[in-house]
Amino acid sequence: MQTESQVRKFTEPEGGGKRHRPSIAIGLWVIKRIERAIVRFSSLPDQPWFDSEQFDWTAKLQSHAPAIRAELDRILDQPDRIPNFQQISKDQENITRDDRWKTFFLYGYGFRMDANCERCPETARAVESIPGMYTAFFSILAPGKQIPLHRGPYKGLLRCHLALKIPERAEDCWIDVGGERRHWEIDRCLVFDDTYRHGVENNTDDQRVVLFLDIKRPMRGPGRVLNNVVLRLIRLSPFIRDAIRNHKAWERRIGDLDGAD
């Protein structure tokens, strides 16, 4: 279940210390019980991997892959203007500290990154058509990049990767979720529960890029209401607010560069 450090990002404001430890413990206790309710009311079983074909939106998203990749190619032409993940989300410093995992955000926890969506209009339209889409960005792994095993923060979301650029030696580039390793296939979706421990390795000389999505978990009855409330509270958390501020600051820096050209 949640570790203390994972709960801290939702319960402890910036500059927090020992005085906040009781709230961390309370947050851990609450989240554990919320996730039990999420499992109980989920329309899907509690398992690490899902068949992408069981979701109505995956086939349509896959059909847009060529148009999405064309927009991605234009973004990749200017790599210095794509931030490292930890430059946007400081919490990611727990799993990455170098410049080999870059991200280009379109949506983050429901917040729309307007400038990036304008640069990628076809991608923006495609992700906005997905019911329950909460986060969407290009996840760009450099050759040799490894992401250690870690756990996602909350079970009320499912994760999807649409593979856009896959190394030639695809067998040496993989994701492990819950102890089961899989490989990406170009223009195909992988759907999984990121609260199972998962890690990624790109042991090749090529780049790997996926369209990374978080989607609301399908729920029954009161579980749907509970999930919406929790996701709303997460949107209001210091962790998410800081990430949005960091992204806006990055956009301003890029805008200054554009103005200087």
Domains of the chain, earliest start first: 4-260 (2.60.120.330)
pLDDT-derived band at 219 (thresholds 50, 70, 90) equals: very high
pLDDT value at residue 33: 85
pLDDT tens track for 120-144: 999 999 999 999 999 999 999 999 9
For 195-223, letters b (16+ CB in 10 Å) and e give: bbebebbbebebbbbbbbbbbbbbbeeeb
Average pLDDT over residues 196-221: 98
141 within 8 A of 208, measured Cβ to Cβ:
yes
Q: How far apart are the first and last CA of the chain?
A: 49
Cα–Cα dist 187/181, whole Å: 19
Query: Does pLDDT of 108 surpass 70?
Result: yes
Cα–Cα dist 228/233, whole Å: 9
Query: Does pLDDT of 12 surpass 50?
Result: no
pLDDT value at residue 15: 37
173 within 8 A of 235, measured Cβ to Cβ:
no
In the chain, the percentage of residues whose pLDDT exceeds 70 is: 87
pLDDT value at residue 30: 77
pTM score of the predicted model: 0.88
137 within 8 A of 72, measured Cβ to Cβ:
no
